[in-house]
Structure 1
Amino acid sequence: MKLKQISVFLENRKGRLWKALNILSNAKINIRALSIADTSEFGILRMIVSDTELAKQILEESNFVVKVNEVIAVGVSDNPGGLEGVLEIFNEMDVNVEYIYAFVEKNGEKAVVVIRTEDIDAGVNALKNGGITILSEEEIKSI
């Protein structure tokens, strides 16, 4: 029920983002979702990719700092309040959300959202108890 995400630490300078994405492109690794958070000195590129382990390996071989961690992917109703309902479950179960980003494609009629919680197991349990369907890694990679 947990999904692997890679986080790539990028110096905030010209061409660094392009280089990371170029490496993935040349290896035929598909990016399914991504988010970039930045400061004046560095950025964190978070991605769900078609082959997490290969992406980590080839980026590290090119001197990028890469971390793999777990996130949760859920389908939410693609209408006003859809995401709010998921966040309400976390709020009621006292689970802190660290960040959220969305997929470029839908899963059927639902938007797909990636969520990182402070305690990933508590996040999974809260969603299950709240009746939210958590998408598997296989389901995500088939979108």
Structure 2
Amino acid sequence: MRVEQIAVFLENKSGRLAEITAVLADNGINIRALSVADTADFGILRLIVDKVELAKKVLKDNGFTVGKTNVLAVEVPDRTGGLAMVLKTIEKAGINVEYMYAFVNKSGENAVLIFRFEDMDKAIGSLQAAGFTMLTGEQICAL
């Protein structure tokens, strides 16, 4: 139910993101979802990829600082209010969202929301009780 995500810390300068994506592409690693957050000096690239351990290795071998964490992937209908339904459930349970990002595979079908929650176990229980579908990393990579 939890999805492994890698986080790459990078300098906020031209070409660094291209360098990371080239390393992944050269090693046959497919990016399924990503988010970039930045400050003036550095950025954090969060990725869901099809080959997590290989991605960590090749990025580290190329001088990048890489971490791994678990996130939840929640599937919702791709329509107005989809995100609001999830957030209302989380709010009622008193759970803090640390960060999130989303992607849509095909418009009009389902969207996948990627969340990092302060209390992952409580979030899983609350979302399951509300009838939400959570995807595995394998399911995301198959989309």
Interval of TM-score (by shorter of Structure 1 and Structure 2): over 0.9
- Contact 2:74–2:133 under 8 Å retained in 1: yes
Following superposition, which runs of at least 4 residues in structure 1 exceed 3 angstroms of deviation? none
- Is 1:75–1:112's contact at 8 Å kept on the other side of the alignment? yes
State the match for 2:66 in structure 1: 66
Secondary structure, aligned partner of 2:53: helix
1:84-127 CA distances to partner (integer Å, 9 max, x unpaired)?
Answer: 00011110011111111112514982111111111222221111
* Distance of 2:106 and 2:96 partners within structure 1: 25
Residues 18 and 104 of structure 1: is their aligned pair in 2 closer, same or farther, counting only changes over 3 Å? farther
Q: Which residue identity does 1:23 align to in structure 2?
A: V
| TM-score, normalised relative to structure 2 | 0.95
Question: In the alignment, what sits opposite 1:84?
Answer: 84
Q: Judge conservation of contact 2:78–2:108 (CA < 8 Å) in 1.
A: no
Pair 1:117 & 2:117 matched: yes
Tell me the CA shift for residue 15 of structure 1: 1.4
Equivalent residue pairs, number: 143
Query: Alpha-carbon deviation of 1:77?
Result: 1.4
Percent identity, please.
Answer: 48
Q: How far apart are the structure 1 equivalents of 2:51 and 2:122? A: 26
Distance 2:91 2:16 in 1: 37
Aligned to 1:54: 54
Gaps of 5+ in 1: none
The amino acid of 2:42's aligned partner reads F
Aligned residues: CA RMSD: 1.5
TM-score by length of 1: 0.95
Alignment-derived partner of residue 42 in structure 2: 42
Aligned to 1:60, the other structure's residue is in SS state helix
- Can you give the 5+ residue segments of structure 2 that lack an aligned partner in the other structure? none
